[in-house]
Every structure is written in structure tokens, then in C-alpha cells.
Structure 1
Amino acid sequence: MANKNIVFGLSLIWSFIACVSCKCLHHEEQLVYQWVAVEFKWPNDTMKQEYINSSKYILENNAINGIKLYKDDVYLTIPRLKDGVAASLVIIDKNDNSESPMVDAYPSWEMHILGDCNTLQLVQSMEIDPESGLMWILDTAYVPSSSIEVAKRCLPKIVVWDINQNKEVYRYVFSKEVIEDPFYLNDLVLDYGGQKGVEFVYISDTLGRKMVVYNHRNKTAYTFVHSSFERKMQYGNITINGESEMVPLSVNGIAMSDDFRYVYYCPMASLSLYRVPTSALRNKDANMDAVVESLGSKGIQSDGLYHGRGSSLYYSTLGQNGVYRWDTLKNTKEVLVKNTTIEWVDSLGMDGKGYLWFTSNDLHKYFRNGTIAGKSNYFVWKVYVGEKGYLDTPKGGPVFGCKETGSKSASIAEKWVTVDFEWPTCKQRENALASNNYIPANNEINGISVYKDKIYLTIPRTKTGVVSTVGILTEHSIQPYPSPAMNTIGDCNALQSVQSMEIDVNTGFLWMLDSPSGNSCKPKLVVHDLNKNTEVFRYVFTESLLGQKYFLEDIVLDYIHQTASFAYISDSLGGKLIIFDVGNKSAWSITHLSMTHNTQYENIMVSGIQTSTHQKGIRGIALSPNFKYLYYSPLAGVKLYQIETSVIRNKISTATDINTSVREIGNKDFPTSGMYSTKTGLYLTELSTGSIVKYSYSATGNLVNGSKTEVTKNCLIQWLDSPTVDANENLWFTSRNVEPFFGNSTMTEHFNFFIWKLNIGQSKDTSAGSVLSGSTSVYLLQFCLIMMLYFHFV
């Protein structure tokens, strides 16, 4: 009954996905809080009245700006841009369940005494380390509306506050020599520099048109000037819903990449997005002209920026009423939120649950005293993006100390801590999580194929909670393929657990190898037309063919006259090769000692980590460029073998034929999970060191002894899988961190799943299949003999 409930639940979820156009990952902002005016939670009525009487609290002058989150708390800034701001840094009262909750001074009322330089004067921004709970508070100190003489003004400072211990741990006061008039310290980002703690803080000085650098190691500060920090007066006029305001401000929004390599920024009065390497900012003598890079136009003015994990840079769009996402890897932008009711998106932050939070505050009206009584003016929103912020990434470790080797450098096309899917609504995702129909840590990327710039992935159901076993990569998430219904658990007509797939580039057919375990469904081949999005045919393997012990791992297509005529499938647990005759829709298998696992190599070490015991034989398979040989290697083994396709194409080949045809090519000295063949060589995964290795072919198409070369190696690459080549001459492969793969959970502070690519100068080719193969020659010879006999007797 439990299994039926799971099937029904997932069917309900996916049927909803199929008919709803909006998706949890895009364009579904949620209004969390709204205020006509911000009301404080006062210690007592006497204090409140005293603040009102002395104009230290003027209700309508308290405009929220910055936002950051820690655990379940929401922190906001209310900079003292006008008189009557009671406290410049606040926390939302969690006990107030209204849509307009009161806010409390943070960390205390005593820390917000106007004119006392030991307390917070004007907090525009702050940042919170989600791991340590340290809040870095940027107090620009200068109160524009204050009558205090310039000489008596408080100096700007950074205050580091321990949220968990509720105490100050450090402060740094900037000198007048570093922060010169005019200045307005607007936003900050933290740089860990490869260590566990903050090493540098980068601050945008909007009025000073500078970038301020605070070196936390040495407790020093310095500034940079550059033309990219300057405002462009032609973009100083900002129009929101027909209302214009002149705001000619310089460098404003600032963001840090998740690998701490780049700082992104933009002036408010500008359309351009820039970045500068942190390696330059860490050196006070760096030449900015040599390192600043313009990434292009955002198309509109922006206020706040924030960087998530991976390549997601989020930025506010003032004239277009929303939030956009800039992909820093592809250098493209897309609309995330666009809503005419959202006026002046100010600050952004991220929680630990996949949500991007942002404030909007009608600031263009606020400057003109144009906020409307009785109408909400200040808002807190959130939108699900399926990732965390840049500070949630690993601090230290291989991401900072990785040295690539090999003849080519592989780039990361995508990376995840946990893999997420496209959902109709966030509520549907939450329900799937609550029912364990979706367990993020159990969704492990394995196979990959690329066709017409679309990336197809497999997520085998080796564990529970896998939403879809085949999908298309969208923006950082997976879209079920061919349809949600075709990925329903327990429905034997649907895909249950696809380990591998292969694309016929001549027809656009996707061959999916479905090898379920743990339910009554039988393994099958499902061939789907990618161009027409229709099923071509399917073939269900029989129990007599597979036996009691099997696990279908890999699939390759064998071409005759550029037509896929045979499919070869490795059965790692059965220690055999399955041959599928496409024309006759029949299948058989062959076995050989070389296809079984070697107990000596069952325990595979990956990056110095002992993985689980692997009692698996033949796994990765590939065809020579002339389609004369099939190459293979057991997972638990270090030898590379070949067998003639003329033998395996022939259903009546004997054990002697097979034994004669199998040849040991050599000792690889490493375990292999997958391989791929091109015109010039055989590419193999090298599990023990996390690298891709190439064995070159001779002019006749045979592997050359001693031709092994290391193509690429990276310490982030651990368990490699599924190398494949696209039409643009790129080699793609996936990798997974060993610990979550062979354990029971992902490492929440690390990226666990990667998609890599590198250009090898060769694309997939099936033209060699036009040459008559050995078995075809045999069939033709038999036909000729029969015809000769026929005419002889006639």
C-alpha cells in the first residue's frame, strides 16, 4: 500500500507540473512582509514617547534598505537618511505573526545612540557568515541630515558582532586619511582568501567613487579609484512606473563570486556590469586599469547585487521593477522577478533554504517625501532559486588549492551541492520533501549526452527520493524528460532507473537504458526521437537473457551504412555483454572471463579515499572509429580488452569464436568507469587520480602501445563518469564527490556534483559505419554462395 501511495503522490505532483506553466524556480515571488510605516518594538511606552517628542523617532522617515538572514531571523537596515530614525539596524520580531511585524533594535537600543561614536550611527549594509554566525556591520557613520559639525562627526567603522554569543568580537575604525570627504560607504562583501575566516572586506564608496579594501589580517585599509566606479550622468535619471528621480550615484551594488576570485560591481548611474579579480584588490599597489573587466550592459540601472553559488549573480532592476539573474559563466541575463507593484528593489540576501530575499522601498518617492499614508511603502519579498549564497560555499580546501595538470584544461559547466528540479510551485516542492518523494542528497548525476546544445542527464534511482531519472539541464535545475509522467516510480511503462544513454546523431534518437532495481519492472531499452519528442520503440529484456544477477551499465551504438544497427550493453554484475539487433528487434549475450570482476581490484581508492567494495565486471565500453572493435574494461580491474564486432554481431558465434576474438590490449594500471572513442583516440576515466586519459589510435585505427597521455586532471574531479563528445568538439563528463556518493548524505558545505567540458578538436562521427563491417561481409558472402548454387541447379 505504501508503494502505491508513493506512485500516486508522485503522479499527482508531476501531472500538476505538466499542466502548470509557472515554475518554482522562476518568476514566483512571494510577499513576506509589508509596512505602511515601520513600527518598533519598544522597551516601554515611556521611551517611545520620549523618542517621538524629541523627534528621534519620526514614523514615516524609517525606510528599510538592507536585508540579510541567519537561521530563522531576518535582519534589516534603516539608514539614517532623514531625521527620526530610531535604530539603524533591526531584527524582525518573530513573535509578531502579522504581515507588518514590529522590528527591534539590534543588537540593542544602547547600540543606536545618535551622536555616540561608540554605537552604530548609520548602517546601510551588513553581511553574515552562515557558518560562524558573525555579522559584519558597516557603519558609514555620517548622518546626512545631522547638524553635527564635520570635525565632530563619527568616523566610519566595521563592527563584527557574534550573533550566537550576542557580543562584539572586533571593530575597525577607518581613518580620515583612508575615508575622505565626500563618502558614503554603501555595501560590503567578505573575502575568505582560501582560509576559514575573513581575510579581506571590500566596500563600495558611492559618494567617494572608490572601492575600499579592509585587510583583516593586517588590520589596515586602503582604497582604489577607477573610471568604472564613476557615475554616467546620462543614466542618472531613474524612472519607475512613470515617476522619475535624479539619482546620479557612483559605485553602489557589489557582489563576491562563490570561489572568492572576483568582485562584481556597478555604479547606480550606469548600465554596465564590471568585475575585478580579488588577487588585484588584495594588493594595494595593483593597477586597476590592467585588471578591471567590463562584462556588458545590464540594460537598466541597478541598486543591490548578490552572488549565489555557481554562476548566478542576482541584481535589482530599478526601471523594470524586479530582479534579474546574470550568468557569469555564459555571460547572459534573464528575468527572475518582474512585477510593476515592486518599486525600487534595494538590497538582496539569501537564506539556507534556496530562497533569494530582497527589499523594495519606493525610495524614489521617499526622497521626495512622497510616500503615501495608508498604503504599504516598504516590502520584504522572497523567490525560490534553488541555491544558497556565496558564503555558503566551502571555505579553504581544494577549491582554492587546485592545480590543474594535463594537456587541456576542463571547465566546470555546472555544479551542485544538491540537485534540484523544476517544480510547479514551491508548495509542491515542500510537499515532496516532507513525504520523502524528493530527497535532495540522493539525486546523483551520472550519465550525460549532448544534442543541439541541450544537455541530457541521467539520475539513477539507486537510492530513494529521486524525482526524475532522466532530465534536461535548464538553469541550474533539471527538467524531467521526456515528460514527468515518463519518470513515475512504480509505473513499468515509465522509466525507472536510467543509468546510461546514447544519442544517434544521424537521427536524433535518444537510446535510454532503463535498469530498475527494487521493483517488479523489467529492464528495457526506450528509444525516443528528440526532434519530434515521440517514442520510436522500446524493447523489454527477458529474464532468460538477464538471469538472476544483472546491472545494465553502459550502451554504445554500432553503425552500418551510417545506420545504428546494433546496440551493445555492458552488464557489470552479470559479467556479460548484451547485443541488441536493431533490425530484428532481438537480443542475446556473450560472456568471457575478461568481462568479470577481479577480486584483487574490488577496493577502489579515489583521491586517497577508500570507496565501497565494487564487485562489478565489464562497465565502460566504446567502439573503435572503424567499428571493427569493441573496447571494454571491468570496473574491478585494470586491464583493457577488445573484441571484434564481426564476432559479437553474429548470434551463432561460439565460445571458441569469442575466446579467439578477445584480445588483452594492455594494463592500464587504474580503474575505469567509462570510456569514449573518437577518430584519434580512446578517452578513459582514471578514477584513482581524477583525470581523463587518452590512448591514441594509429592510422589503421588500432590502439598504439605506449600512447597514453593525461588529457586533464583536477583535484575537484573525483568519481568520473560518462565521457561523451558533442557536435562542437567538446568532451563532456560528470563527476561526484566520493563521500556522498558512497555514503548516505551529501556534504552540505561542498559542491558534490559537477558537469565538466573541454574542447578536444573532434566531434562525434559515425561515417566509418558506411564501410562494410566484417559480419556484413559474411552475410553478403553467404548470399552470393546461395545465389550461385541456385543458378547452378537451375
Structure 2
Amino acid sequence: MLYHWNHLDWNFPDPNMKQAFETGQKWKHAMPAGIKVDQQGNTYVSVPRWADGIPATMNRIVIKNGKPLLEAFPSWDWNRPGKVTVLQSVLGYEIDERNRMWILDQGKIAYSPSPDGSQKLIIWDLNTNQLLETITIPNEIAPYRTSFLNDLVVDNQHGFVYITDSGNGWPDHPLDGGIIVYNMKTKKFRRVLDKHFSTQNFPGFNFDIDNQTVFRHKPIRIGADGIALSADRSTLYYCPVTGRNLYAIDTFLLRNFDTPLKEISHAVRAVGSKGTTTDGMHADNRGNLFYTMLEGKGIGVYTPKTHQFHKFVSDDRMLWVDGVAFDQKGSIIFNNNRLHQMFNSPQTIDWSYPYNLIIWKEFVGPGVKSYLYAR
């Protein structure tokens, strides 16, 4: 256990900001989502703005008086809500082998439609602490009303980025899940597998955590969410949250923007059931795929060579394990955030409990790193 909180707190630059955050109890919807570690050993946390009042959506952990606090990254100005050129709501991001952060901005705040220009990829150089590029994701690729840009993987060897759009950005509306492919060289996007069965929710799907049905009175529907790229960059894996299947497709089909959409649709492979619904995924440099287990309260591993799924680590406190990444020193880093309790109505969290939100570390083996470091 690296860090834990009863609720998230920030290293505020202004006492008035801190007072507004605390008196308004905005921390009740401040949910740590993606966890990453850079080459200098800094730990980052995304906190999506699925409700109003989130101080900063992209953050770095700092220690103040022995307590872990969040600090806006790359700055407070870069996290200003309502300014579409800066970060609005971040869920997924990646830190590549060149120590560059690829930040996926959902654009929308509290499920309002994404304003024009707010959906984007921000590339930030962590070595020089400078902006490298801003890439806008247009409405025709990720519809501003329905899109829910979730997570991404980066392939610098071939020059592509793959993004999951869960399609649940418009509550009480049919899903519009899909996969988005970005070509770094041509600067063009393509949307594939739009509303494909593999990027949608499984019809009528419900699941339990601790023998309690998640969102019993209004079951969630989340399409393509978890995404992972194999170490040899040849296979893209993905999965919905509301379903247990793992899906795969050959990336050479996706890298060629002339491949007919119908051919891509027919090329999807159902790898099999993970035996649990999953949020985040991450592949290592040895061909294994690590996935979060919501029902299993932990982390599981899929080994393509043997086509086997098995449990890696579990703990009763791992309630809604969200993101998983590598520290490049042989360990995985992951977090749990009680999403199913935090966004339930009414909330079912004891906010005095010191282990509501946890960042974990678990050793995998010497030499084990992210897929990004595979050669």
C-alpha cells in the first residue's frame, strides 16, 4: 500500500479554494482514476470531472506534513474548467518510453456535451516540463454529446495511438461505443467498430461486488473501456465494463486507414471470458496482459501463450480497482476508488474510514516493465 485516503485532498495554492472544496463537500465526488509513474519516480493521478467542483483533473502526488496530497499538473492554470484549450476532464492517459505524457481530455464536465475544441490529446514532455502538441478530436470522430473518451495506448514504433470511446457520455441515451485510431504522421483520426457488439455493453448485464448488485436501481452501461497493446504491437485488446469478455484485433488492419470498416468488424476475436468485469488494463513487456477485477476485487492476468486467465492479487479493500500501470522496476501500480459507492445514490461510503481510496504496488518479477519498453 503506497498511499491511502479517507477522501482526496489537494495542496491548494489559495485558502479560499480549500475552504470552498471542504465546505461544499466537493471531495465526495473526487475519484482517483488513472495512476502512472514517470521515469523520475513521480506518481500521477487523474480525477475526472464527472461532477462540478473538482479542483484539478490532472495531478501529481506530493507529500506535505507526512500526508499525500494532490497538486495540479502541469499547473493550476492548465486545469481551469471552462477554458477549452486546457484540461477539462481527464480519465485516461499514458506515459510513454520517451517520458512523454499523452493526456486524453474527455472535454465534458458533469456529463454536459463537450464544447467544441475541448476533446483533445495533449502531449507533454516530462523531461523538460513543456507542451509538445495539442491535437483536437473532432465531433465526427467522437460525437460531443455521446462520447466518453476513456483510455489510450501508444505505439511509437509504428506511429499510432488507440483510444476507447465508451459511448456513455449521454445518460439515459443508447450507447455509442467505438475505437478511435490516430496516425501520428498524417495527423488524422479514424473511428472504427462504432456500435460494434464488442464495443457496446452486453445486453441486460448486471454484476455484484461483495454480493451487492452494482447500481441496483439503475444499472450502468459502459462500452469499450479497458485497452491494452501487446508487447510486439501486433494485437490490440479491449473490453467493455458491462460485460466479462476480452476482445482482440490485429493492429495492421487498424493502421491501414483504407481497410474497409466491414473487414475490421469481421476481424474482431472474442478471446474469452475473464470471469470478472474489468475497468483498466495494461500489457507488460513479456506478452502478458494485466486487467482489473471489479467482481474479484483485485488484478488478474491473461497469458496469450497458454490462453489462460488467472487471479494475480486480491484484497477485500480493493473495491473497484480502476487503473493499472508499471513502475518499470518489476512492479505494477494500481488503485481502487469505490466508484460504485461514490456515484451511487445515496452514497454508501463511510468517509471517516482511512482506506477508502488506495494506491497499491505489487511486485511481478525482475525485468518486468510496460509494453512500451518491449524491444
Tell me the TM-score normalized by structure 2.
0.89
Q: Deviations over 1:258-297 (max 9, x none)?
A: 1111110111111111111110111223221342111111
Match of 2:165 in 1: 205
1:266 to 212, 215, 239: 239
> Would you say the 8 A contact 1:324–1:333 is kept in 2?
yes
Aligned to 2:372, which of 391, 394, 401?
A: 391
- Distance in 1 (alpha carbons) for counterparts of 2:342 and 2:19: 24
Q: 1:77 aligns with which of 46, 58, 65?
A: 46
In 2, the alpha carbon distance for the partners of 1:66 and 1:252 equals 12
- Once the two structures are superposed, residues 351-392 of structure 1 have per-residue CA deviations (whole angstroms, 9 ceiling, x without a partner) of 111010111011110111222220132110111011111111
State how far apart, in whole Å, the 1-side matches of 2:95 and 2:114 are: 32
Distance in 2, matches of 1:205 and 1:151, equals 13
Asked whether the 8 Å contact 1:125–1:137 carries over to 2, the reply is yes
Cα distance 1:152–1:307, how it changes in 2: closer, same or farther (>3 A)? closer
Paired with 2:228 and 2:119, the residues of 1 have a C-alpha distance of 21
Alignment-derived partner of residue 144 in structure 1: 110
- Residue of 357, 368, 374 corresponding to 1:378: 357
1:634 counterpart residue number: none
For residues 260 and 325 of structure 1, the distance between their equivalents in structure 2, rounded to whole angstroms, comes to 18
**1:11-30 superposed matches below 5 A:** none
Query: Paired residue for 1:422?
Result: none
- Contact 2:35-2:45 within 8 A present in 1 as well: yes
Residue in structure 2 matched with residue 541 of structure 1 by the alignment = none
Match of 1:342 in 2: 318
The answer (yes or no) to whether the contact 1:142–1:154 under 8 Å persists in 2 is no
Equivalent of 2:9 in 39, 62, 77: 39
Query: SS of the residue aligned with 2:55?
Result: coil
The 2-side partners of 1:89 and 1:263 are apart by 26
CA RMSD of aligned residues (A): 1.7
Post-superposition offset of 1:252: 0.7
**Secondary structure, in 3 states, of the residue corresponding to 2:191?**
strand
Q: Is 2:249 the partner of 1:253?
A: no
- Structure 2 residue corresponding to 1:135, chosen from 101, 106, 115: 101
- Aligned pair partner of 1:243 in 212, 234, 243: 212
Residue 104 of structure 1 deviates from its aligned partner by 0.3
Residue 152 (structure 1) shift: 4.4
Q: In structure 1, how many angstroms separate the alpha carbons of the residues matched to 2:310 and 2:202?
A: 24
8 Å CA contact 2:108, 2:115 repeated in 1? no
Q: 1:337 to 1:366 in 2, by over 3 A?
A: same
Give, in angstroms, the shift of residue 238 of structure 1. 2.4
Aligned equivalent of 1:185: 149
Read off the aligned partner of 1:276 and give its amino acid letter.
Answer: I
Q: 1:97 to 1:231 in 2, by over 3 A?
A: same
Aligned to 1:351: 327
Q: CA deviation at 1:95?
A: 5.5
CA distance in 2, matches of 1:332, 1:216: 34
Kindly provide the CA deviation profile for residues 429-448 of structure 1, in whole angstroms up to 9, marking residues without a partner as x. Answer: xxxxxxxxxxxxxxxxxxxx
The structural deviation recorded for 1:78 is: 0.4
- Aligned identity (percent) is 30
Partner of 2:273: 297
Whether the 8 Å contact between 2:335 and 2:360 is mirrored in structure 1 is yes
**C-alpha deviation, 1:335, in angstroms:** 1.1
Q: 2:172 — aligned with what? A: none
Q: Secondary structure at the match of 2:204?
A: helix
Aligned 8 A contact 1:307 1:389 in 2: yes
Aligned to 1:333: 309
Structure 1 residue 222 displacement after superposition = 1.2
* 1:666 counterpart residue number: none
Secondary structure at 1:102 match in 2: strand
Q: Does residue 218 of the first structure (1) align with residue 186 of the second (2)?
A: yes
Pairing 1:90-109 to 2, within 5 Å after superposition:
90-94=59-63, 97-98=66-67, 101-109=68-76
Secondary structure in structure 1 of the residue aligned to 2:2: strand
Distance in 1 of aligned mates of 2:28 and 2:114? 30
Shift of 1:247: 2.0
Instruction: Write the distance in 2 (CA, Å) between the matches of 1:45 and 1:311.
Output: 48
Match of residue 627 from structure 1: none
Counterpart residue type for residue 239 of structure 2:
C
Q: Is the alpha carbon distance of 1:51 and 1:373 closer, same or farther for their aligned partners in structure 2, counting shifts above 3 Å?
A: closer
Which one-letter code corresponds to 1:163 in the other structure? L
1:308 and 2:277 matched: no
Contact 2:228 2:238 in 1 (8 A): yes
**SS of alignment partner, residue 104 of structure 1:** strand
Structure-2 separation of matches of 1:347 and 1:36:
19
1:168 aligned residue: 131
Alpha-carbon distance between aligned partners in 2 of 1:152 and 1:175, rounded to the nearest angstrom: 10
Paired with 1:216 and 1:37, the residues of 2 have a C-alpha distance of: 38
Q: Is the 8 A contact 2:286 2:374 kept in 1?
A: no
Q: Distance in 1 between matches of 2:106 and 2:65?
A: 30
Which has a greater percent of helix? 1
Residue matched to 2:198: 228
Is this contact kept in 2: 1:323–1:338, CA < 8 A? yes
The one-letter code of the counterpart of 2:4 is Q
Paired residues of 1:255 and 1:265 also in contact (CA < 8 A): yes
Asked whether the equivalents of residues 155 and 176 of structure 1 are also in contact (C-alpha less than 8 Å), the reply is no
Gaps of 5+ in 2: 168-175
Residues 1:318 and 1:152: Cα distance change in structure 2 (over 3 Å):
closer
Q: Which amino acid aligns with 1:189?
A: V
The question of 1:125 aligning with 2:92 is answered yes
> In the TM superposition, what is the alpha-carbon distance from 1:145 to its structure 2 partner?
4.6
TM-score using structure 1 length = 0.43
Distance 2:268 2:351 in 1: 45
Question: CA shift at 1:243, angstroms?
Answer: 2.0
Q: Do 2:4 and 2:359's aligned partners in 1 also have CA atoms closer than 8 Å?
A: yes
Higher Rg: 1
Q: Residue 329 of structure 1 aligns to a residue in which SS?
A: coil
Corresponding residue for residue 514 of structure 1: none
| Matched residue SS, 2:182 | strand
Any residues of structure 2 matched to 1:298-697 within 5 Å, and which? 298-368=274-344, 369-375=347-353, 376-386=355-365, 387-394=368-375
Which residue among 114, 123, 126 is the counterpart of 2:81?
A: 114
